[in-house]
Amino acid sequence: MATHPPLESPIRSRPTRLSHLLRSLEIDVRLFGMIGALIIIWIALHLLTDNTFLTPRNLWNLAVQTSVVGIIAAGMVFVIVMRHIDLSVGSVVGVTGMIMAVAQTQLFPLGTEWNWLATLLIGLLAGAVIGAFQGFWIAYQGIPAFIVTLAGLLIFRGGAWLLTEGRTVAPLDSNFQLLGGGLAGSIGATWSWVVGLLAILAIIVIAVRNRVGRKRLGFSVRPLWAELLLAGAGIAFVVAFVLVMNANLRPRTDIPHGIPIPVLILLGVTLIMAAIARLTKFGRYIYAMGGSPEAAKLAGINTKLVTLLVFVSIGVLSALAGAVATARLNAGVTSTGMFAELHVIAAAVIGGTSLGGGVGTVVGALIGAIFMQSLQNGMVLLGLTSALQQIVIGLVLIMAVWLDVVYRRRSGLQE
């Protein structure tokens, strides 16, 4: 009797086709899953909030809210990749923001053109000094980063209070306020399209250069359809983003806000940190140290100096986030940045940065930051209390770490 091969189950064939698609596109499975989860959460929150969540105004606000967490998360990726942690970033946001507020109101006259720039530089310098201070104890004295930065969480939060004995410092320079967004803190429709077109051009140039370079070096290349699909998806995202930002109009006018300045800062930080990770020796050293600190040291990498510089970088980024948060509030407040470290660490881990070290991307951390702020924004729209919001964020953090453990175990990376 003639036999026929068993029919392939459609349920089992779908994962095979999906995995083949992801391999062709060279997309990380975790990143793909996170984007899918983000889309599902957006749709669910939109339905639960009576079609409010996905409106242009709320998405514009969400983009601004993401900027503070996203800026710090870009630096936290490097810290966690090196198998360290920084629990002090929220306090650094608070103390550097207060330093800038005090400098604006007491050291320099308000209204001068250079006030905002001078105080911003002072804040960034303070962040670098704080990062170097903590990095010294970690890299050169061998104290675990958990202990040093836990101490920093207490020290710098107390320092923010002592600067003004708990008083709020306001108002701030009008030019400085632009860093936080607000009514005037955006670039308008025309310049938003200019930025969008530059981003589209960059996507095309990068795609072509990568393909030509890989062919020249004899490396495998994606199928042409996969290359076009990825580039097309990137271009579609840029166009949609600009359209949404321009769809949010200024109050009682027909004038579009356009892309907020803090979002431009976030995108700039993301591009710079991603370029450092992918294109520089310093970035390769960080990932080598995360993969095997002993092997990195034997390979001649100055691991102590790299560790110090990584903590300096996250100190500077925390200060930059402090400038954005303080400018948005138009005041120096001692509570600025409270619990930001939890959101930042969760964003990095959700974005695929492994607490075991050696694995993580800046782009993934950005998506993780959007994920965290989407939850926060949605919970506010739903009217959940602050206590319930903290419970949800805590559960999300546990879930993110659990997923990282499961992924490492299945990938054979668990030590």
Q: Give the pLDDT of residue 22.
A: 60
SS3 state of residue 84: coil
Local confidence band at 374 (pLDDT 50, 70, 90 cut-offs): very high
Partner residues linked to 249 by β-bridges? 256
Does residue 196 have a pLDDT over 90? Answer: yes
Closest among 173, 63, 86 to 348, alpha carbons compared: 86
**Burial call 57-88: b when 16+ CB within 10 Å, e when fewer:** ebbbbbbbbbbbbbbbbbbbbbbbbbbbbbbb
Which pLDDT value is given to residue 8? Answer: 43
Cα–Cα distance, 88 to 164 (Å, whole number): 20
pLDDT of residue 26: 66
20 and 222 Cβ atoms separated by less than 8 Å: no
User: Residue 382: what pLDDT?
Assistant: 93
Q: For the segment 241-296, what is each residue's pLDDT rounded down to a tens digit?
A: 999 999 999 988 889 999 999 999 999 999 999 999 988 999 999 999 998 888 99
Q: What are the tokens at 372? A: 């965290």
Q: Per-residue pLDDT tens for 303-352?
A: 999 999 999 999 999 999 999 999 999 999 999 999 899 899 999 998 88
Residue ranges of the domains in the chain? 30-185+260-410, 186-259
**Separation CA 365–CA 345 (nearest Å):** 9
Quick one: tokens of 199? 């981003």
Angle at CA of residue 88, ends 84 and 91, nearest 5°: 165
- Give the position of tokens 């709020």: 168
Task: Give this prediction's pTM.
Answer: 0.90
pLDDT digits (tens, 9 = 90+) for 35-67: 888 999 999 999 999 999 999 999 999 999 999
Q: Are 397 and 349 in contact (CB under 8 A)?
A: yes
30-185+260-410: CATH, from 1.25.40, 1.10.3470, 2.60.40, 3.40.50: 1.10.3470
The CA-CA-CA angle for residues 233, 259, 115, to 5°, reads: 140
